[in-house]
Amino acid sequence: MSKRDRLSGNEAVAIAMRQINPDVMPAFPITPSTEIPQYFSSFVANGKVDTEFIPVESEHSAMSAAIGAEAAGARTLTATSSCGLAYMWEELHVAASDRLPIALALVNRALSGPININADHSDGMGARDCGWIQLYAETNQEAYDNFIMAYRIAEHPDVMLPIMSCMDGFITSHAVENIILEDDDKVHNFVGEYNPSHYLLNKNEPLAVGPYSVTNYYMEARRAQAEGMAHVPEVATEVAKDFEKTFGRSYGLIEEYKMEDAEYAFVIMGSAAGTMKEYVDNLRNQGEKVGVVKIRMFRPFPAKEVALALSKVKAVAIFDRAESFCNVGGPLSAEVTRAMFYGKVRAEVMDYVYGLGGRDLLEEHAQKVLDDLKKIVKDGGSDDYYRYLGVRE
């Protein structure tokens, strides 16, 4: 039977891991994800899981061990943040190219430098082209639910790719919220057992994992990865339907909030989506027709769904919690504007870099952005489509 509890995002994710009862967890601590392996190691010590917990000497080693365990046929997970994910970078590509459905809890934190331990999305965005599925959570409940759904998506035979379940450091990971925890057996049954078709310890099928790929094969391997990623939206949608049927909570690839009659849209992801919904409520009370499109799945990017959600608005503000240093916008902006272009959405667009290093998104920022959107609609465009929000110039 489900029950209500007050938990941090880190503890909620660790409980989801316990309920899944994976075979192996290699981990190395890094703020603000350290609590996840800390909680989980206590579950191991207390006999609440059958997992082999491997304390390693670095994040690179954590992902290396995860690759070895998963390749051997063991359901494997780990957790990290920021520079820890960067240290895994080489191995992230290996895990994806070997088609190993490892699950990783990524607690988003700014990358150095300068050194900062607070939330932004520069770590996840830095790994966006490594071939991993990426889900971003708004709340502790969503962080818990996303991790329960993660293996069902990653291990699907049409996908077989690793998955990151992301949440904002300290904001989601450490803040305590009321959430619903599901029954252990119900979660375990929903996720199911892992029965890989091909694995190293299968004595009846000798195989190599991750061999050297000569020119004649490398491009086909990449194409096969892309095909697996192409199946993710359909699989994730079906998993979400089954999740709603089982647990009663509904998720899509994106979430539309008060978009039915919206003339202006704010596109955002992560914990700030909840903040923006409240600001939009206040703007609605002032008679403004504005809504929010929250991106839940960033990789693969739900381009068709985003284009459809934005098809009737006059102007769009895209909120990037990472800087890509391309001089024309951030990584979320690149994806949204491409989706709009291919979807023939003609709305005006502004991109705002906000919240870097944990800086707050304020209600006055939402009002400023709306004023900017109204101006570019009135003027028929702008010479400056890429701006910082809440920065001392």
Same fold, 3-247 and 254-388: yes
pLDDT at 72: 98
Phi, psi torsion values for 164, nearest 5 degrees: -105, 130
7 pLDDT tier (thresholds 50, 70, 90): very high
pLDDT at 80: 98
pLDDT tens digits along 60-80: 999 999 999 999 999 999 999
Phi, psi torsion values for 280, nearest 5 degrees: -65, -40
pLDDT at 370: 98
1 pLDDT tier (thresholds 50, 70, 90): confident
Whether the CB-CB separation of 108 and 167 falls below 8 Å is answered with: yes
CATH for 254-388 is 3.40.50.920
pLDDT at 113: 85
95 pLDDT tier (thresholds 50, 70, 90): very high
Q: What is the mean pLDDT of the chain?
A: 97
Query: Both tokens of residue 345?
Result: 């959405």
Starting at the earlier edge strand, list the strands of the sheet with 133-136. 77-80, 103-108, 163-168, 133-136, 297-299
Task: Tell me which of 177 and 113 has the higher pLDDT.
Answer: 177
pLDDT tens digits along 302-334: 999 999 999 999 999 999 999 999 999 999 999
Exposure string of 148-158, with b = 16+ CB inside 10 Å and e = fewer, is bbbbbbbbbee
Locate tokens 């990783």: which residue?
A: 104
The rounded distance, in Å, linking the Cα atoms of 71 and 318 is 39
pLDDT tens digits along 143-193: 999 999 999 999 999 999 999 999 999 999 999 999 999 999 999 999 999
246 pLDDT tier (thresholds 50, 70, 90): very high
Give percent of the chain above pLDDT 90. Answer: 98
Amino acid in position 314? K
96 pLDDT tier (thresholds 50, 70, 90): very high
Mean pLDDT of 234-248: 98
pLDDT tens digits along 248-282: 999 999 999 999 999 999 999 999 999 999 999 99
Q: Where are the domains of the chain?
A: 3-247, 254-388
Whether the CB-CB separation of 136 and 106 falls below 8 Å is answered with: no
Per residue, the 3-state secondary structure of the chain, as one string, reads CCEEEEEEHHHHHHHHHHHHCCCEEEECCCCCCCHHHHHHHHHHHCCCCCCEEEECCCHHHHHHHHHHHHHCCCCEEEEECHHHHHHCHHHHHHHHHCCCCCEEEEEECCCCCCCCCCCCCHHHHHCCCCCCEEEECCCHHHHHHHHHHHHHHHCCCCCCCCEEEEEECCCCCCCEEEEEECCHHHHHHHHCCCCCCCCCCCCCCCCCCCCCCCHHHHHHHHHHHHHHHHCHHHHHHHHHHHHHHHHCCCCCCEEEECCCCCCEEEEECCCHHHHHHHHHHHHHHCCCCEEEEEECEEECCCHHHHHHHCCCCCEEEEEECCCCCCCCCCHHHHHHHHHHHHCCCCCEEEEEECCHHHCCCCHHHHHHHHHHHHHHHHHCCCCCCEEECCCCC
pLDDT tens digits along 21-75: 999 999 999 999 999 999 999 999 999 999 999 999 999 999 999 999 999 999 9
CATH for 3-247 is 3.40.50.970
The rounded distance, in Å, linking the Cα atoms of 58 and 231 is 33
